[in-house]
Structure 1
Amino acid sequence: MFILYGNICNIRDIVAELKAHGKCAMVHADLVLGLGSKDVAIDFLKEQTGADGIISTKPMLVRRAQELKMFGILRAFIIDSMAVANIRKMLDTLRPDMIEIMPGVMPKIIKSLRGSTDILLIAGGLISEKKEVLELFAAGADAISTTKQELWYI
C-alpha cells in the first residue's frame, strides 16, 4: 500500500495500522509533512516506523532506502520526450526496485520503457477506468497505482 499522506507525528501509527492488516507499507517520503529531503528522513522511517519502503522523486532518497534494505521506488513524471530520455539515463546509474511512471495513462511510454529496462514498472496517476488498467498491463506495466478503489481488485 502506498501512503501518500501523514506527518512525522502520525506516520508511525499509519504504518502500524497497515502492517497489522498484513500489508506492505510504502511511504511517499516527499509527501510526509516534516520529513525533509535528507538521508536522515529515510533513517527515521526505517527505525521509527518500520516502513517496508519509500516512494520518492529524489534519487538520493531511493538509494538510501535501498542501503537500509528497504524497497526504493522512484516516482517519475513524464511530461515530454526529454523526460523519457532522462529517466533512461538515470536508470543506468540508479537501479530502483521499482519506478512509478506518472501520469500512468500512457501505454505507449510504458511499452517503450518496458523494452529498455527490467525494473518493475508501476503506472500511476489519472487512471480511472478498467479499460486503462488492462491497456497498461498489456503494454508491460507490472502494477497500477490509483486511488479509485473500484479498480484495486481487477
Structure 2
Amino acid sequence: MNNFKSLLEDNPIVAAVKDEKELDLALQSDIQVIFILFGDILNIKTISEKIYKSNKTGILHVDLVEGISSKEVALRFIKENTRFEGIISTKSQVIRAGKKLGFIAIQRVFMIDSLSKENMKNHLVEECDAVEILPGLLFKIIKELSLTLNKPLIAGGLISDKEDVMETLKSGATCISTTKKEIWYM
C-alpha cells in the first residue's frame, strides 16, 4: 500500500486510456501509471504485457472489460493470466475479492450530489488502496475527503487543463487520472 501511495504521489498524472491508440501514446510518455478502461477477455493479456514491458503499472477497470463478470473467478483469471497489478471497480464485492487476490484495488465512486457523497462513506470498502472520485473537479469535496479518508485520493473526470490539475492537487487529491492526452505531457 505505501509503495502504491508513493507511486501516485511521485506520479500525479495517471493516464486513463480508452483504446489501443491511446495506450500506445501513454506507453511512449513519461506516465508511470495507466488505467485501462477498455478491452475484452481475449486481449487483456496482450494489453497487460505491453504495459509490463514498458516498466509501467497497469490497472484494469474490470467493470469495463467485455466478457468479465463481477465474480471472484473472473478476478482469479485476470491474476493468473495477465500482468495487471491492480483493478478498479465501482462494486464493493469486486474490490474485496481483488484485495484477497493481492491486487491493488481502487474503488471508483461517482459524485453527483450530496446523497452520493453520503452513500460513498457508507459503501467504501475499508480494504481498498485508493478511491477514485468522478468527476474530479469537486474541490471542496476533495479537500474534505482527503482529510478524512486516510487513503490516496485519485480525482478523475472533466479535468481539461493545467489549471484544473493544479487546483485538484492543491485541494488534496493525491493525483489525477485523465483521458486527455495533452495533460499527460504537461
Deviation string, structure 1 residues 79-127 (Cα, Å, up to 9, x no partner)? 1111111112233x53310110001111111011112111110000111
Where in structure 2 are there 5+ consecutive unaligned residues?
A: 1-33
Counting only pairs closer than 5 Å after superposition, residues 1-154 of structure 1 correspond to structure 2 as 1-91=34-124, 94-154=126-186
**What one-letter code is carried by the residue in structure 2 that aligns with 1:86?**
N
TM-score (norm 2): 0.79
Higher RCO structure (Cα 8 Å, ≥6 apart): 2
Give me the whole-angstrom Cα distance separating, in 1, the residues matched to 2:77 and 2:148.
34
Runs of 4+, deviation exceeding 2 Å: none
Give me the whole-angstrom Cα distance separating, in 2, the residues matched to 1:120 and 1:95.
12
Equivalent residue number for residue 23 of structure 2: none
User: How many residues are paired up?
Assistant: 153
Q: Residue 33 of structure 1: CA displacement?
A: 0.3
Whether the aligned pair in 2 keeps the contact of 1:75 and 1:99 (CA below 8 Å) is yes
Q: Percent same amino acid at aligned positions?
A: 45
Where in structure 1 are there 5+ consecutive unaligned residues?
A: none
* DSSP-derived class of the 2:106 partner: strand
Equivalent residue number for residue 26 of structure 2: none
Give me the whole-angstrom Cα distance separating, in 1, the residues matched to 2:128 and 2:102.
12
**What one-letter code is carried by the residue in structure 2 that aligns with 1:34?**
G
Whether the aligned pair in 2 keeps the contact of 1:75 and 1:100 (CA below 8 Å) is yes
Q: Residue 153 of structure 1: CA displacement?
A: 4.1
RMSD value, Cα: 1.1
* DSSP-derived class of the 2:41 partner: coil
Whether the aligned pair in 2 keeps the contact of 1:95 and 1:119 (CA below 8 Å) is no
Give me the whole-angstrom Cα distance separating, in 2, the residues matched to 1:10 and 1:75.
23
TM-score (norm 1): 0.95
